[in-house]
Amino acid sequence: MAVAVALIQGASRGLGLQFCKHILQNKKPSAVIATCRNPDAAAELLSLAGQHKDRLTVVRLDVNREEDIREAAKRVKESFGRLDLLLNSSALLHPSGKGETSLRDVTAQGIISTLTTNTVGPLVMAKYFAPLLQKGAGGFGQQPPEKSKQHSGIIVNITAKVGSIGDNGLGGWYSYRMSKAALNMATRNLSIELGRSRPKVVCVALHPGTVDTDLSRPYHRNVPKERLFSTEHSVSCLMSIIETLDSDKTGQAYSWDGAQLPW
């Protein structure tokens, strides 16, 4: 059985770190490449790497720097030769840590910074890692018997329900909403282009729910207890979706419970 190779972008904490833990524990045989901006400060990730020396590789990568992404892709190609799963996890609510509640709070730099991390970064990741995903062994998702529908790799972009234009009834959070809506469009575009390859690369956007992480913590008081998820619960739900993906599901956005999200 071929070793499944997954790359988790934004793996130093929160959802990204939990994805690493989940795959290492539940997906065997597998290898995980964990990227983050500053590995030296990622104590929990380094501890995890120490526990899985033969399966977890930590790579320095700032998703805002194209040269970092290019060099990381070169390193993965040299070490693994392919990739089965690319998961873009890192996200920025806003440089201030709070979403804009009105136009008065909007700044050009705030929008640019949020879009760079949440939208541009994942798209540039796809640019450099798509050739490796096209060489994947289909280690994640479901493979239908029809050869024309089989996939090689999967791209998962972590989106957010607030990025849904059709679901937006409250407004606010300009930068974050815009960045996730744009990420959804990028995911759709990728699914079309990479769906032409043989075998295909499946591309989806997944909403993790409201998770107990640093990004959402300022707003936890407004979330019912039963709707605030641990990283363990959210990642378990999302991995259940990933393991059922096939080429028929590409180009869509799904919530943590498997329901399709409106664009």
Our separate counts of H helices and E strands in the chain read 7, 9
CA distance 220 to 78: 43
Q: What's residue 66's pLDDT?
A: 98
Digit-by-digit pLDDT tens for the chain (263 residues) are: 679 999 999 999 999 999 999 999 999 899 999 999 999 999 999 999 999 999 999 999 999 999 999 999 999 999 999 999 999 999 999 999 888 989 999 999 999 999 999 999 999 999 999 999 999 999 999 998 888 889 999 999 999 999 999 999 999 999 999 999 999 999 999 999 999 988 899 999 999 998 877 665 565 566 666 668 999 999 999 999 999 999 999 999 999 999 999 88
- What string of DSSP letters covers 211-236? ESSTTTGGGGGGS-GGGEE-HHHHHH
- Size (the chain), residues: 263
CA distance 15 to 211: 8
Tell me the domains of the chain and their CATH numbers: 4-255 (3.40.50.720)
CA distance 41 to 84: 28
Omega into 131 within 30° of 0, i.e. cis?
no
Structure tokens, 32: 């995980």
Q: What's residue 94's pLDDT?
A: 92
Is there a contact between 45 and 34 (Cβ–Cβ < 8 Å)? yes
Is there a contact between 179 and 163 (Cβ–Cβ < 8 Å)? yes
CA distance 85 to 137: 10
- Lookup result for tokens 């990568």: 61
Q: What's residue 263's pLDDT?
A: 87
Is there a contact between 179 and 112 (Cβ–Cβ < 8 Å)? no
CA distance 263 to 252: 9
- Lookup result for tokens 């393991």: 243
